[in-house]
Homo-oligomer: A and B are copies of this chain.
Amino acid sequence: MSRQLEDLDRIDRQILRILQRAGRLPNVELARRVNLSPTPCLERVKRLEREGFIRDYVALLDPLKVHAGLVVYIQVTLTDTATSALEAFNEHVSSLEEVQECHMVAGGFDYLIKIRIKDMLGYRRFLGEKLASIPGVRETHTYVVIQEVKTDTAVAVPDPEPKAKGKR
């Protein structure tokens, strides 16, 4: 019923690659680029949305211009690692607007959090007023980002295998 990545032909993958970089590209222009007429192209896009390959469309802002130019990673270790404690922590962290990402990791500490704030004062406020007030936080370790070398929301979409009895 719902297709796998393997079921997508070359054109579907092209569409995904293009829309990852230009989400507002008019359908007529998208169609031109993948050598289709607008109708089947739109049909493909809609289908990719319906099947969940495309999750949603967003505008990306310039972090510097909205006072979120400073990126800080924070390692967090909890005192209690019972499931309920973890879930409570998940809830708390997810509600903090400064937190862009939060991952539970294996290999040394429990969580890795990425936050965006304006400056060091913003970081201090976050740590003191927000993170520290979450119960069960045993230890934090801070990594301040000096330079953002690469930031990309796009993921690689592999080319289709030229199957023996392949599609089209």
Contacts and interface: CB of A to CB of B under 8 A. Distances in A.
A56 interface: yes
Interface residues of A, number: 64
A82 interface: no
Nearest to A116: B155
Contacts of A143: 105-108, 112
Interface string A63-82: 10111100101000000000
A157 interface: yes
Contacts of A11: none
A121 interface: no
Interface in A89-114: 90, 93-94, 97-108, 111-112
